[in-house]
Amino acid sequence: MSTLHPDLPNIDPARFKAPSHEALQGAARSTHAPRFLLLYGSLRERSYSKLLTLEAARLLQAMGGDVRVFDPTGLPLPDSVPDSHPKVQELRDLAQWAEGMVWCSPEGHGAMTGILKAQIDWIPLSVGSVRPTQGKTLAVMEVSGGSQSFNAVNQMRILGRWMRMITIPNQSSVAKAFMEFDEAGRMRPSAYYERVVDVMEELVKFTLLTRDVSGYLVDRYSERPGGQP
């Protein structure tokens, strides 16, 4: 049994990795377009969360992103069918493909919708040794029919942390969303729109900065070989 030095922390030096500048500088830089998966939380024919998501998709594409928007129509409730269901597999494949995500929900009864939560619940924390969301970036947005609120984005931030994602600081909350889109479904110029631009720009930046070092960022002492049985 080893004797602890009174001035040193109780860690196993063989498992501990001090932050390394070389580890970051030596990472190979990806050259492909950053990959983004966008989820929205309403099935209404004129869904403002979908319209806002499509605006975000256009912005990400204009900023050089490779973008996929998942249509939740036909996605069963979590655990109601085997995970081999085609819509579940489509969602999981996209989650694994993506390097960053955007979650956009209406605020219903002071919370995100069950439709968005169901999509997130179908994405597992791990599939074998693969963690589909760990170390990936996330931006959160919400729309509401009344005054501005932050209940849905706050909930999504908690979920992002639980999914071990890098949730960016900026966020978007669009109040009275029915006034912010024209008849063609395009978002009108406004301070709300410029905030969406800011959020997407920040998401791209964080994704480019972290995607090649995400393995280093999520490498944890407690999960390395040699820990407690």
Is 96 in contact with 130 (CB distance < 8 Å)?
A: yes
Three-state DSSP class for 127? Answer: strand
- The whole-number pLDDT of residue 22 equals 61
- The whole-number pLDDT of residue 16 equals 73
Q: Write the CA distances from 58 to 19, 54, 143, 185, integer angstroms.
A: 37, 6, 18, 13
Q: Which parts of the chain have pLDDT scores under 50?
A: 1
- The whole-number pLDDT of residue 154 equals 96
d(CA 31, CA 34): 9
- The whole-number pLDDT of residue 158 equals 95
- The whole-number pLDDT of residue 1 equals 46
- The whole-number pLDDT of residue 10 equals 73
